[in-house]
Structure 1
């Protein structure tokens, strides 16, 4: 464990990422599915664009000209590993949208022992990791044609996440984040309970389900899933982009536009939840927004309260939202940030208990290996007990970690 001479608390990052090893599904799917289940193929790229918030790669054939990378192949899907999946260790100006192989990425992206070593370098004790190939809430399996296979893939990923990625070698320092079969709320509820029974206290979900062709949270379609989360104390974790539609302004807007406004889906989603009545229907429900930053939250809470106070009659929420949205936020919602000096200067308008820290390893936005230095610079005006809560205390309470900041189900948290 890192022993830097610093009073800054050891970080619990609530938003890092794993790049799944090539064997995850091949090792766990029934034999008849291995030929069609997710598998890695090395091939050149024919074309690849990322405009207007849409990522469009086209795989070439063996022998074609073009850079060669490792591609996930699953049904009709061809999805390459890219430098944006694992950019840490590279100079910012050298990071491009390009295909890569496993050998060309930092081993901590997919190897537990190497990940812990990179966490040590970055003053990080524990980390919750979102997926890569399944996408941030399992959209890959939701969009697949064969949902019987999709369900097996979801369960296989969750077993790998709990038993291997967060298994004994992780010593309690990696915190599991399973997926659900988004196409069936009853199956989703069963998967929440299956994982809760082995100590898991978080699950990935979409920030805006209708963008995936799924029901909104204003319906009762999700109630079985939400009831399972409410009963088991499972946090609903929503990452930017978990609606498969990153914010943008036009089909030809460069990625820099979307990257600047990535918080927008979190903003829209939070208003959805605050005006849905679900927090009153499920009083133990908690939601968190990974990589959404926090500086935008005070105004939205102010505006939501005004709308609720003045317009709830014709606004369609008077019969289900009986308290000011800001009160519901304080009890149910957590904002996550890795670099937000403005939000930290306005912490009183957000709530010390509603903010979590993250490092976003190994993505291009990551503050690795200087997450401690970034935190020290941006939190220098705060009292030590406030810094402690933001950097680790709130995460320990929310995710049911031990007092030492470890996942109780991990090999080193006994």
Structure 2
């Protein structure tokens, strides 16, 4: 069992049912995300879209007991209180002696799949306000990641500046935008520059694709085993777009993270990027680095990956870069390591040195988020 200090770089809240309706006039409630009861369970609904049921927040640890009883659809009344009550969250953190947790959305990220750009901007702001209030109960333990509409760069920059003042320690952008908004485009430089200047790491979280990207989670039917196995495809495309466009050369202190997409894929990804850059003839207009660095060098300097339970990735840590690895429990979701995080970490980190263990589960997060 791991007994050292812990920071979870990927925890989640579960949005309360009145997050949006309480911040809008009653006449607009039907246009806000809200909860409805269905025969199979309770659902978050927005403009006819069933975004998410409550299963992801009702059963952490159940997979250790009986995986056959794990379900995506459930009732709101069964939510783990620590998902929405900051005082209860702190109590649950104390169970695992967690020093701090980085808080992500559960429901609001689904809006990335459905909302237009203007709608997304309007709906993310109240979420960011609520999360700031949640974290303010214990600002040293609860650290928020705000949500940005990266389609609209000027709006995203303004919202990131506002959220920095609210106390958020980083921002989430689309994991994969549609083809019209890919991250190699020069208009994103204002966003990259603002994130660098504000010291706000940017994050691409599992499930954060925009409409038309090819894998928006519009129904639970898409969550096949094959689909779940290949989630990391989209973050690889976005990171490659940024790297080959020279983003990390122009913004050397920008930090960008892959979250909840594990990490064993990274060594092959880095080798392929280096090979494509050095061994393939560049197309006309392709960016060439001014510095004598390879794509993998920029990853090792500017990128990080948050994982939960990737034993193979740990075995490949020298190729990934120990300084790039962060652990997260994914509380209170179905696949969370809670309440067995220390036991699981003791097993998968058994071959690491004490210095490596400290960096992966504590030191790297403390450095990247300035805790």
Normalized against structure 1, the TM-score is what? 0.80
| 1: CA distance, partners of 2:59 / 2:238 | 28
Query: How much does 1:180 deviate?
Result: 1.6
List per-residue Cα deviations over 1:25-66 (Å, max 9, x = no partner). Answer: 22323565345322333x21xxxxxxxxxxxxxxxxxxxxx3
Question: Does residue 124 of structure 2 align to residue 151 of structure 1?
Answer: no
Residue in structure 2 matched with residue 369 of structure 1 by the alignment: 339
Aligned CA distance change for structure 1 residues 171 and 386 (closer, same or farther; 3 Å): same
Residue in structure 2 matched with residue 329 of structure 1 by the alignment: 299
Within a 5 Å distance, the mapping from 1:55-66 to structure 2 comes to 66=39
- 2:99 aligned to 125, 129, 151, which one? 125
List per-residue Cα deviations over 1:215-250 (Å, max 9, x = no partner). Answer: 1011123222222112111111111221155599xx
Question: Does residue 24 of structure 2 align to residue 29 of structure 1?
Answer: yes
Within a 5 Å distance, the mapping from 1:148-187 to structure 2 comes to 150-163=120-133, 165-168=134-137, 170-187=138-155
List per-residue Cα deviations over 1:248-280 (Å, max 9, x = no partner). Answer: 9xx988722222233232333322222121111
Query: How much does 1:199 deviate?
Result: 3.4
Aligned CA distance change for structure 1 residues 301 and 24 (closer, same or farther; 3 Å): same
Query: How much does 1:85 deviate?
Result: 4.3
| 2: CA distance, partners of 1:240 / 1:72 | 19
Aligned CA distance change for structure 1 residues 190 and 247 (closer, same or farther; 3 Å): closer
| 2: CA distance, partners of 1:73 / 1:193 | 30
Query: How much does 1:207 deviate?
Result: 1.7
Residue in structure 1 matched with residue 270 of structure 2 by the alignment: 301
Aligned CA distance change for structure 1 residues 236 and 254 (closer, same or farther; 3 Å): closer
| 1: CA distance, partners of 2:316 / 2:236 | 17
Query: How much does 1:7 deviate?
Result: 5.8
Residue in structure 2 matched with residue 226 of structure 1 by the alignment: 192
Query: How much does 1:318 deviate?
Result: 4.1
Normalized against structure 2, the TM-score is what? 0.88
| 2: CA distance, partners of 1:89 / 1:254 | 21
Please give the secondary structure, in 2, of the residue aligned with 1:203: strand
Aligned CA distance change for structure 1 residues 252 and 102 (closer, same or farther; 3 Å): closer
| 2: CA distance, partners of 1:135 / 1:81 | 13
Residue in structure 2 matched with residue 87 of structure 1 by the alignment: 59
Q: Is the CA contact (8 Å cut-off) linking 1:13 and 1:358 kept in structure 2?
A: yes
Aligned CA distance change for structure 1 residues 113 and 397 (closer, same or farther; 3 Å): same
Residue in structure 2 matched with residue 236 of structure 1 by the alignment: 202
- 1:139 aligned to 112, 115, 133, which one? 112
Query: How much does 1:345 deviate?
Result: 1.3
Structure 2's unaligned 5+ residue stretches are: none
Residue in structure 1 matched with residue 78 of structure 2 by the alignment: 104
| 1: CA distance, partners of 2:28 / 2:223 | 39
Give the total of aligned pairs. 362
Please give the secondary structure, in 2, of the residue aligned with 1:178: strand
